[in-house]
Amino acid sequence: MNALESRPPVVFNNLGDEPVHRAIRRLRWFKSSFISQVNSVSEQTDIQFETNTEILARCFLAWLKEFEASKPDDPAERESFLGYASGMMLRRLIELEPVRHLSMPEEFDKSDPAMFWPEGYVYVMYCLNIRKLVADEAFDAGLEFSPAVADISTWWSFRENVGEMSSYAIAFLDLFAGKKPDFVTPYIFKPEDSAQSLPPSSPSQTNQATTRTASRAASRLATRLATGAETQATTAGLSCGLQIGEQNCRAVLVDNSGSLLFERNTEIAIQPDSQLATTHSAVINELLSAARDINVTLEGSSLQGLFVSVPDSLLTDSAEIQSAISANTGVAVSVMSTSTAAAVAEITLGAELPDRNFLLVWMASPIEYRMVVDGKVINDTASTRGNTPAVTDPATLAEELAATVSVLHNVMGLRQVVLAPASTEPDYPQLLGELKNRLPAIDFRYSEVPQTPEAFGAVCLQFIDIVTTTGADRTRLDS
Amino acid sequence: MTASALKAPLIRTLVLSVKDGLRGIRHILLSLRNRFARVARRSPAPMRQFGKVLVSHFDRIADRVDRNTSSIVHRYLDPEISRKADVAVLSRITSLDEASASVIFAKISYDNLKSVIAYLCDRLDHEGHFFVSEALGAVAYGRAAGSFQDTACESTKAAMLLQALLRVGMVRTGSSGNAATSSDADTQKIAQMSVFSAILWLIIERESTPESEDELLIDCCDLALAQAESIYQALEDVQAMADLMAFSRESV
């Protein structure tokens, strides 16, 4: 029995005849029920809290306005909207922080989520309890919380992720509620799943829902086509890769058989954050210079496209890099992250894996992640996580990695993780041991792809087929 | 004294003025005491000790005046008005004749504003003192009630009352100016938010209330603070304020 199972459920104020889904839209009940939750957690854990009711009212109001604005017209979508609405509430609570813990018990279990993040624990339990009450009452649908709600490694990831983007709260609440989370666009309400499981609605309601779904699908298709059009230009002629590492710029040119025609390595000192503009300017200049040299090598003949791989930290400048190189060289340019390149390398050149679903961990500083599903790299920003600076400390690194991997394991059944070396290398045997101890169900292994110019050049040939631009396929991993 | 005994306009005006006068004495004494205490704190050490003795002497006098004025007001001048939901809702007040309604409205608003202002001063960490005039509350009701026949909508009536209260200045500053038009941003905000909360409390539905009336008043106050900007923008527009009142009424 974990710490959570031994805790009695919170009892909220009497509602009279009013159903919970109506009462929760009134500040008086929202406030009193929230305070009941705070008191309940306080009694169970000996943590003392302070609640700012004015901030709580702001949370309520912000949530209520969002709720009213995004409430579906179709009654068939209301059950799935319940999960989204409770997630929005969690997001607001986390953003505005109406609760502050004043003191902790003298001795406590560090693996208890309530002790790890007391405020977050109160918010999550409140939203889960309300969601359960409404599900029971309005939809007669019992809600069983997931074991993830008591799993400390999930909470590490939860806290880190909502710190980066509060909308992840919506996906994590789904995870805690035992539902399928959407970590790609958690801030968009998607009614499809529940709509399929509900009785048919009236024809006009069905038409409205179909129109909305079709519109979203058209939008996704347009995005894919636009991205495909951009990268298609690079498939003709020779392939060229420009790779920016942490401290160097590497330019390689390979022909269609993978033979190396041109290579150039230049050291670039990455400046501290305060001088990032200097770094970016140096990177762009070096790329331009390399591109011109390549054109000279080819005598300006057949180069039609360039792949540029940069660390995630420089991806924000991809448009600038793209337009600068295109304007100066006249070739189409596609900019992608280094970790995507590493993932493609792993698929095409890597050791045989039991299946083609894995997480690639690019061991740079900060660490970058790429999901590979059915042999395709998911090239969206949501599959990337940063903020892991201490890659040389195996224990800390293992803790950080385990948190992320654990969530992906719970959410989508991830079983394989490939650790790919960048310029900064931790103590691999110790790291591997730590990871296997923490997550024995996961197959951790090192990448054996050589970090040579030829390998990178060969990888450039494969980009078009292997990289997808949305995370839509990620949910297929567990199926 | 009952509300019906206060129907006669002359007696009503006299009683409310006497109440305000007695409370005014208390208020002035308290303001003087605080001003003196501030000066004493900044004085050199020997004077500071002397100042402390004087402040404590002042406190004893203020305490005695406070008790006496409260006793006179409550025993002889207050109508028997309960702040329970069966009396203190706007629909019930507006159904009375204007003379009784204005007295009841003024008394209930006075009680509510005192609590709400104390809460807001605490929330906003504001040290200023406010004086709430019951007589001006009755005047405001009279002015707003003149337009009540134009509408059946309770939120619109509430918006009219709010505007009237702010215009006559039922909430006043230490120097007896209208707090709603004060040049100090916090003073102005406290006046606007407190009046909004007190009026909102009069129109909210009670049937599912699990809390006390005082807790409900604090809920109204928290909601007012949470939408302070919207309230500020709707102050001069009756329809916008009525819409905001209607939304707030549903949301509390």
Lowest-pLDDT choice from A44-58, A313-327, A331-345, B118-132: A313-327
Q: State pLDDT tens for residues A452-474.
A: 666 666 666 565 556 654 444 43
Instruction: Enter the tokens of residue B26.
Output: 């208390």
Lowest-pLDDT choice from A201-205, B106-110, B238-242: A201-205
Calpha distance A82→B25 (Å, rounded): 57
Compare A125 and B52 and report the one with higher pLDDT: A125
CB contact under 8 A, A25 and B211: no
Contact between B96 and B79 (Cβ < 8 Å): no
The CA-based dihedral angle spanning residues B241, B247, B249, B250, taken in that order and rounded to the nearest 10 degrees: 170
Q: What is the pLDDT of residue A9?
A: 62
| Confidence bin at A218 (pLDDT 50/70/90) | very low
Which chain B residue shows the shortest CA-CA distance from A58? B226
Q: What is the CA radius of gyration of chain A?
A: 25
Calpha distance A114→A49 (Å, rounded): 12
Calpha distance A44→A361 (Å, rounded): 39
Give the closest of A14, A26, A53 to B251, CB-based: A26
CB contact under 8 A, A57 and B222: yes
Which chain B residue shows the shortest CA-CA distance from A96? B226
Q: What integer is the mean pLDDT of A386-407? A: 70
Closest CA to A358 of A338, A341, A373: A373
Residues of chain A positioned with their CB less than 8 A from the CB of B226: 54, 57-58, 60-61
CA B122 to chain A, closest CA, distance in angstroms equals 12
Which residues of A make CB contacts under 8 Å with B?
Answer: 13-18, 23, 25-29, 31-32, 53-54, 56-58, 60-61, 64
Residues of chain A positioned with their CB less than 8 A from the CB of B216: 28
Calpha distance A65→A68 (Å, rounded): 5
Residues of chain A positioned with their CB less than 8 A from the CB of B207: 16
Instruction: Enter the tokens of residue B38.
Output: 């501030």
Residues of chain B positioned with their CB less than 8 A from the CB of A25: 250-251
**B159 interface with A at CB cutoff 8 Å:** no
For residue A19, the tally of other CB atoms under 10 A from its CB is 12
% of chain B surpassing 90 pLDDT: 38
Q: What is the pLDDT of residue A113?
A: 92
Compare A228 and A137 and report the one with higher pLDDT: A137
DSSP conformation class of B20: H
Residues of chain B positioned with their CB less than 8 A from the CB of A17: 208
Residues of chain A positioned with their CB less than 8 A from the CB of B229: none
pLDDT beyond 90 at B243: yes
Candidate ranges A318-332, A352-366, A421-435, B165-179; pick with highest mean pLDDT: B165-179
Residues of chain A positioned with their CB less than 8 A from the CB of B210: 13-16, 28-29, 32
Give the closest of B210, B216, B222 to A54, CB-based: B222
**B225 interface with A at CB cutoff 8 Å:** yes
The predicted model scores a pTM of 0.57
Calpha distance A394→B125 (Å, rounded): 48
CA A19 to chain B, closest CA, distance in angstroms equals 10
| Confidence bin at A203 (pLDDT 50/70/90) | very low
CA A135 to chain B, closest CA, distance in angstroms equals 21
Give the closest of B216, B218, B226 to A61, CB-based: B226
Q: What is the pLDDT of residue A19?
A: 83
CB contact under 8 A, B208 and A18: yes
Lowest-pLDDT choice from A79-83, A162-166, A222-226, A291-295: A222-226
Q: What is the pLDDT of residue A233?
A: 28
Residues of chain A positioned with their CB less than 8 A from the CB of B219: 27-28, 31, 57
% of chain A surpassing 90 pLDDT: 18
Helix (H, G, I), strand (E, B) or coil at A15: coil
Q: What integer is the mean pLDDT of A416-430? A: 73
**B222 interface with A at CB cutoff 8 Å:** yes
Q: What is the pLDDT of residue A226?
A: 31
CB contact under 8 A, B210 and A64: no
Q: What is the pLDDT of residue B70?
A: 67
Give the closest of B225, B251, B252 to A54, CB-based: B225
Q: State pLDDT tens for residues B21-51.
A: 767 766 776 777 777 777 777 777 667 777 7
Q: What is the pLDDT of residue B5?
A: 46
Q: What integer is the mean pLDDT of A293-312? A: 63
Residue type, A116: F
CA B161 to chain A, closest CA, distance in angstroms equals 23
CB contact under 8 A, A27 and B216: no
Instruction: Enter the tokens of residue A246.
Output: 């942490």
| Confidence bin at B199 (pLDDT 50/70/90) | very high
CB contact under 8 A, A29 and B208: yes
pLDDT beyond 70 at A414: yes
Q: What is the pLDDT of residue B2?
A: 45
Closest CA to A463 of A325, A335, A317, A315: A335
Q: What is the pLDDT of residue A246?
A: 56
**B209 interface with A at CB cutoff 8 Å:** yes
**B230 interface with A at CB cutoff 8 Å:** no
Q: What is the pLDDT of residue A152?
A: 87
| Confidence bin at A378 (pLDDT 50/70/90) | confident
CB contact under 8 A, B123 and A28: no
pLDDT beyond 60 at A210: no
| Confidence bin at A380 (pLDDT 50/70/90) | low
Give the closest of B219, B225, B227 to A28, CB-based: B219
Residues of chain A positioned with their CB less than 8 A from the CB of B228: none
CB contact under 8 A, B210 and A13: yes
Q: Please give the interface size between A and B, counted as residue pairs whose CB atoms are below 8 Å apart.
A: 55
Lowest-pLDDT choice from A374-383, A441-450, A465-474: A465-474
Residues of chain B positioned with their CB less than 8 A from the CB of A35: none
Q: What integer is the mean pLDDT of A159-180? A: 87
CB contact under 8 A, B207 and A57: no
pLDDT beyond 50 at A385: no
Compare A182 and B29 and report the one with higher pLDDT: A182
Residues of chain B positioned with their CB less than 8 A from the CB of A23: 208
- Burial of B127 from C-beta contacts in 10 A (0-12 / 13-18 / 19+): exposed
Q: State pLDDT tens for residues A28-83.
A: 889 989 999 999 999 999 999 999 999 999 999 999 988 988 888 888 888 888 99
Residue from B121, B205, B219, B248 whose CB has the most chain A CBs within 10 Å, to mutate: B219
% of chain A surpassing 70 pLDDT: 58
Q: What integer is the mean pLDDT of B106-130? A: 90
Contact between A238 and A253 (Cβ < 8 Å): yes
pLDDT beyond 70 at A194: no
Give the closest of B209, B211, B227 to A61, CB-based: B227
Helix (H, G, I), strand (E, B) or coil at A240: strand
CB contact under 8 A, A23 and B208: yes
pLDDT beyond 60 at A124: yes
Q: Return mean pLDDT, chain A.
A: 72
Q: State pLDDT tens for residues A240-267.
A: 566 665 566 666 666 555 566 667 777 7
pLDDT beyond 70 at B105: yes
Q: Which positions ≥6 away from B72 have C-beta within 8 Å? A: B22
Structure ipTM: 0.74
Q: What is the pLDDT of residue A244?
A: 61
**B223 interface with A at CB cutoff 8 Å:** yes
Q: What is the pLDDT of residue A313?
A: 66
pLDDT beyond 70 at B54: yes
pLDDT beyond 90 at B227: yes
Give the closest of B123, B226, B252 to A26, CB-based: B252
CB contact under 8 A, A16 and B210: yes
| Confidence bin at B197 (pLDDT 50/70/90) | very high
Instruction: Say whether the peptide bond before residue A366 is cis (omega within 30 degrees of 0).
Output: yes
Closest CA to A403 of A438, A368, A375, A450: A438
Q: What is the pLDDT of residue B211?
A: 63
CA A43 to chain B, closest CA, distance in angstroms equals 22
Q: What integer is the mean pLDDT of A96-122? A: 92
Contact between A63 and A166 (Cβ < 8 Å): no
Residues of chain A positioned with their CB less than 8 A from the CB of B227: 61
